[in-house]
Amino acid sequence: MTAPTKPSPDSTGDALSGSPVEDDSLHSPVIDWFDENARDLPWRRPEAGPWGVMVSEFMLQQTPVNRVLPVYEQWLSRWPRPADLAKEAPGEAVRAWGRLGYPRRALRLHGAAVAIAERHGGDVPTEHAQLLALPGIGEYTAAAVASFAYGQRHAVLDTNVRRVLARAVTGVQYPPNATTAAERKLARALLPDDERTASRWAAASMELGALVCTAKNESCHRCPIAAQCAWRLAGKPEHDGPPRRGQTYAGTDRQVRGKLLAVLRDAHTPVPQAALDRVWHEPVQRARALDGLVSDGLVEPLPGGMYRLPLS
């Protein structure tokens, strides 16, 4: 851990065998830092429950905390249990999603709520395999809910955690664009054996990446593991892998889709084509964006050139 040498992806697990990681030099400082510095977020409070944790995990994907907070509070006030959301039309989930972006997440969360109501008596299941079997839930979300809601031992690999591990252990500035098998192997090798400690480590390493080991302008002077960070000890070499993907929005189909959905969210009756045509000047891109929304199940076309949010 203290050497700046970059391990090869295939040897990561072997390189950790007998390393200082095993005697808690990584876990304890990060967890202690988390205990002192963790943000007071509503989904971390006991009253949030497993459903509150699940809702937050859907909303926080690719969306910053400050944008999620007001929508999260409104969502849980309206739908405090999965069964409450399951009774509503999926279009209401899209409407309540507001401007969080990537609105297919709202449909997936609604689908998960329906499945929870039908298969699990309205309670978010406790087992990782049961969570993974819910519609719209992948490996990350299943692991996050199992860990954060139920205190279980799982490798929770979001962008922040991947960046912390890339720097502290692997010695590179950024992780690959997509999660690799080597990263999963490393995360599993680093998991504390004790379930409670493992779940705290998952939350703490995520918070460290969000607040200190950030993508830009990292605050190494505030990092509890700076003294053993392989990337810092190597002199912080610049990223030499594939270009990191940037997110563009202005002028893209995503922007057009957002404008079309905004009209439909604000309307409680079907909307004519003419009202949608006014939101974007370029007809080919506008039509492509609308067709995409229909194909994704976010918009329901009706006879006579009318459109609405989906009812089923």
Given 57, 92, 183, 207, which residue is catalytic? 57
- 271 pairs with which residues across the strands? 307
Which residue, among 8, 30, 57, has the nearest Cα to 180 in the 3D structure?
8
**Residue 242 CB partners (closer than 8 Å, separation 6+):** 176, 177
Three-state secondary structure call for residue 301 = strand
Residue 57 a catalytic site member: yes
**Edge-to-edge strand ranges of the sheet holding 300-302:** 271-272, 306-308, 300-302
Which residue, among 37, 41, 67, 1, has the nearest Cα to 212 in the 3D structure?
37
Which residue, among 219, 198, 217, 199, has the nearest Cα to 208 in the 3D structure?
219
**Residue 268 CB partners (closer than 8 Å, separation 6+):** none
Which residue, among 197, 206, 224, has the nearest Cα to 25 in the 3D structure?
224
Which residue, among 130, 96, 120, has the nearest Cα to 110 in the 3D structure?
96
Residue type, 178: A
Q: Is the dihedral of CA 229, 232, 234, 236 positive or negative?
A: positive
Structure tokens at 223: 């990092």
CB atoms within 10 A of CB 252: 13
Please give the C-alpha separations between residue 78 and each of 52, 97, 98, in angstroms, as whole numbers: 12, 12, 14
Task: Say if residues 106 and 94 touch (Cβ distance below 8 Å).
Answer: yes
Task: Say if residues 197 and 27 touch (Cβ distance below 8 Å).
Answer: yes
Task: Say if residues 174 and 239 touch (Cβ distance below 8 Å).
Answer: yes
Question: Which residues belong to the active site?
Answer: 57
